[in-house]
Amino acid sequence: MHELKSFFSEVSEKIERKLDELIPPAAVEPRRLYEAVRWSVFGGGKRFRPALVFAVGRTFGAPDEKLLRTAAAVEMIHTYSLIHDDLPAMDDDDLRRGRATCHVKYDEATAILAGDLLQSLAFRSISEDTSLSDDVRLKVLAQIADGAAKMVAGQQLDLDAEGAEIDSSEIESIHQNKTGALISASACAGAIIGGAGDKELTAVRNYSSMLGLLFQITDDIIDVTQSSDVLGKTAAKDLAANKATYVSIYGLEHSRELAEQVRTEAVAAIDTLNRPVELLRDIADFILERTS
């Protein structure tokens, strides 16, 4: 786990430098827009999706310079989704990672545009990534665009389910789209850049799909077990919003068992690969054990 920590901080540093390069400086007009984008992008996220691009990419032998733009792009897409998710018409959140959300710090119109811009910049960044062959670049683009579209569908499913009685298959479908699709796209993009074959790509898809599920279950557990202070965002929010979560459907104890089981499946998927998968295994363990 010690190595994993340094892996995450190494990736964060690289990604933040790349993001700083790809996002227009706050000194040019429209300054308010670029400031708002930077406020949200450099707000101290975990950089989990970019880390996954790196972890999977390196597992398949891709050099960092080929992974960097794609990793930055998935973080841009993730950040845009958080900005829009926090809007008053959506989750109406004032706090994110311990700081004011984008529309609170700036205003709603600017926050909508900041999210919109991040999505365009993400696709522009990959389409101009000359470190990748044309073929790989297009495959990565299609992968990320598909993940981004599914993410939005998942958000709508989540909204539709608010206050409704939903069962375990519905909650799974919500999260497979809302959180899982972009996590999976990030992992698969890393594999594609590393030249993974079809079978290997399927293994990565299965691994990352389980990882996304694990991420969501532990998120739901953390929401009810941690204080707002630790989270840097409003705690027990899902409960208050009457949102279906793994904990509300299965209870805390069974959710923890489910998380264990999903972690085992994630690891089983990559154990079939004839590659050095320690890092990918450590990531699954890390998500299982995370407390924030």
Q: How far apart are CA 274 and CA 266, in angstroms?
A: 16
Comparison of 86 and 203: residue with beta carbon closer to a copy of itself: 86
Indicate whether 224 belongs to the interface with a copy of itself (CB under 8 A).
Answer: no
Of 285, 291, 279, nearest to 214 by C-alpha is 285
10 Å Cβ neighbour count for 288? 19
10 Å Cβ neighbour count for 218? 22
Contact 223, 247 (CB under 8 A): yes
Contact 215, 179 (CB under 8 A): yes
Considering only residues 30 to 89 of the shown chain, the ones binding a copy of itself according to CB under 8 A are 30, 32-33, 80-81, 84, 87, 89
Binding-site size for a copy of itself (CB under 8 A) equals: 43
Selected range binding a copy of itself among 116-124, 227-235, 241-249, 281-289, rule: CB under 8 A: 116-124
Q: Least distance from C-beta 291 to a copy of itself, angstroms?
A: 30
Indicate whether 121 belongs to the interface with a copy of itself (CB under 8 A).
Answer: yes
Concatenating the DSSP letter of every residue in 95-113 gives EETTEE-HHHHS-HHHHHH
Q: How far apart are CA 206 and CA 187, in angstroms?
A: 10
Indicate whether 160 belongs to the interface with a copy of itself (CB under 8 A).
Answer: yes
Q: Least distance from C-beta 76 to a copy of itself, angstroms?
A: 11
Structure token pair of residue 158: 């989540």
Q: How far apart are CA 47 and CA 24, in angstroms?
A: 20
Site string for a copy of itself, 9-28 (x = CB under 8 A): --------------------
Indicate whether 4 belongs to the interface with a copy of itself (CB under 8 A).
Answer: no
Contact positions vs a copy of itself (CB under 8 A) = 29-30, 32-33, 80-81, 84, 87, 89-90, 107-110, 112-113, 115-117, 119-121, 123-124, 127-128, 134-135, 137-138, 141-142, 145-146, 148-149, 152-153, 155-157, 159-160
